[in-house]
Structure 1
Amino acid sequence: MAAKRAVVRNGGNRFDGRRARVARVAIIGSCITRDLWPILGEAPADLLYISRTSLPSLFARPLAGVELADDPPPGLARHQHNALRADLKKSALAALVAHRPTHLIFDFIDERFDLLAARDTLVTHSWELEVSGYLDQPAFSSARIVPRASAQCDQLWREAALETAAFLSTTPLSDARIILHESQWAGRYLDRAGQLQDFDPDVMIFDGNVGSLDAHNALLRSYQQRFADLTGAARVSADPGLMVGDVCHRWGLSPFHYVADYYRDIWGQLRALGL
């Protein structure tokens, strides 16, 4: 699929532009960034992947009283359970600082989930939490949903974005190259015959939880611009012509499971930033 060459827009965080001899990468985001390596046949040497979270949840208090199993509950893989544990116990930030990444990549595709206000904290209402069985515990007995599209969630996200910017500038992460992988939910996808089809405008986030494709893309644009303004992150984004879903994607059909050329385009831009 032909596309115009995408442009890397460099922000002002500290980095001298030379390729790091050994990149030590961390991701706070989703499979659109994590999948770059396996889809393109690469293997990151030293990668920390933090997913299934939201900035308000990332900076909230640990949820008191929740009892987490050592082994994944039925229906969850170990990596899914690990992400869920990190979101409930709020262990991701300490792990991130300990990792000392040379490059820290954010993408906001996992910001599609609602939040849960439980006791005195916030957690991400992810599919993993929904199927884990943990919601039956007393720690969640009075939990209430904070809808992703609500004004309250937007305010919580704005406050957490400020916390994120301060955290990045006042910890050892100030030496990392901060990168924002900007994207959108695709409006079209390639079917098994290689023909373009339209996604339904209402997308199933998980069973019983439906989101508007246009509304979530508007949220993404807002989040991405706020984050870039606050952090001066380098911004990478593929040409809109490559934001096409693929029914043959390794994780199945979704508006954010793109054709392989999307990942090749982003990978080339990240290589230019030292990965």
Structure 2
Amino acid sequence: MWPIVGEAAPQDLLYVSRTSLASLFAAPLRDVSLSEDLPPELAAFPHRSMVADLHKTALAALVEYRPTHVIFDFIDERLDLLAAQGTIVTHSWELDVSGYLGQPAFEGSRDIPRTHAAADVIWRQGLDQMAAFLRMTPLASAVPILHEAQWATHYLDETGEAQAFGDVEIFTGKPASIGDYNTVLARHQTAFAAAVPHAVRISAPPALHLADSRHRWGLSPFHYVEAYYRDIWERLQALGV
């Protein structure tokens, strides 16, 4: 999900990330011992986001925030799911490097690849729950917005020339097919639009579907050129965000 704008000043945003609709409504994963001695590459905010996914605290935070708009962005749905102790969590890079996977809470856990049918079944169950959640909680007064995105097949190199992507990874050690993940995104976005028909759908024009080798977070099919973000932001502003 993209940042969520509440009743406070527009610059105050609640950002829920490193989770999945498949994981949001699952039971909390118990008995994970959190560490204050984190790897240097794992910053505080992404660590908190990952912990929120384990403890399932994001939904309560959303309701408490009383947002005016809820913006859904399914780019994080690239992350595999992890079945552990009878529940589902999101297998993010943050979880991978945190060291938590070596704890007893994850003993016998099983990875569910995002492109497999099982992941889609679990995700659709989460979608049904989200649609009901939007109807039956104070979020019913918020405007749902769906940012429809696709992974870029090309990127701008350091000289500004467009190049086709070769091999890509979701994160180190997790290879990915752009076509496969674009299929997942398209399927999720179509399903969400059907389940939440009053959601406003926004997307950037195809000409802006370009990744940027100079992106602040590095080259990736979902790290776009600046003009892409500017276009989406203008569309959000037009909707009152």
| Misfit runs of 4+, over 3 Å | 70-74
Give the counterpart letter for 1:125 in structure 2.
H
Task: Report the TM-score, using the length of structure 2 for normalisation.
Answer: 0.94
Match of 1:136 among 102, 120, 129: 102
> Does residue 66 of structure 2 align to residue 97 of structure 1?
no
Of 113, 119, 125, which residue of structure 1 is paired with 2:91?
125
Higher normalized contact order (CA 8 Å, seq sep 6+, divided by chain length): 1
Match of 2:33 in 1: 67
Q: CA deviation at 1:271?
A: 1.0
Q: What is the number of equivalent residue pairs in this alignment?
A: 236
Residues 205-249 of structure 1, C-alpha deviations (whole Å, 9 max, x = no match): 112211110000011000001001111210000001101011111
Counterpart of 1:80 in structure 2: which amino acid?
Answer: P
Q: Alpha-carbon deviation of 1:44?
A: 4.7
Is it true that 1:170 corresponds to 2:136 in the alignment? yes
Partner of 2:186: 221
Aligned partner of 2:155 in structure 1 is 189
**Which of 174, 195, 219 in structure 2 is aligned with 1:209?**
174
- Note if 1:88 corresponds to 2:54: yes
Over the residues paired in the alignment, what is the CA RMSD in angstroms? 1.4
Specify the code of the residue in structure 2 equivalent to 1:203.
Answer: V
Gaps of 5+ in 2: none
Amino-acid identity (%): 58
2-structure distance, mates of 1:251, 1:44: 25
SS in 2 for 1:50: coil
Cross-structure match for 1:231: 196
Match of 1:156 in 2: 122
Distance, in Å, in 2 between the alignment partners of 1:108 and 1:68 is 27
- How many Å separate the matches in 2 of 1:154 and 1:126? 17
Unaligned runs of 5+ in 1: 1-27, 35-42
Deviation, structure 1 residue 140: 0.3
- Return the TM-score normalized by structure 1: 0.83
Provide the C-alpha distance between the structure 1 equivalents of 2:54 and 2:41, rounded to a whole number of angstroms.
18
Matched position secondary structure for 2:207: helix
Partner residue, 1:22: none
How far is the alpha carbon of 1:185 from its aligned partner? Answer: 0.3
Partner Cα distance (2:232, 2:213) in 1: 20
1:252 to partner: Cα distance? 1.1
Paired residue type of 2:23: S
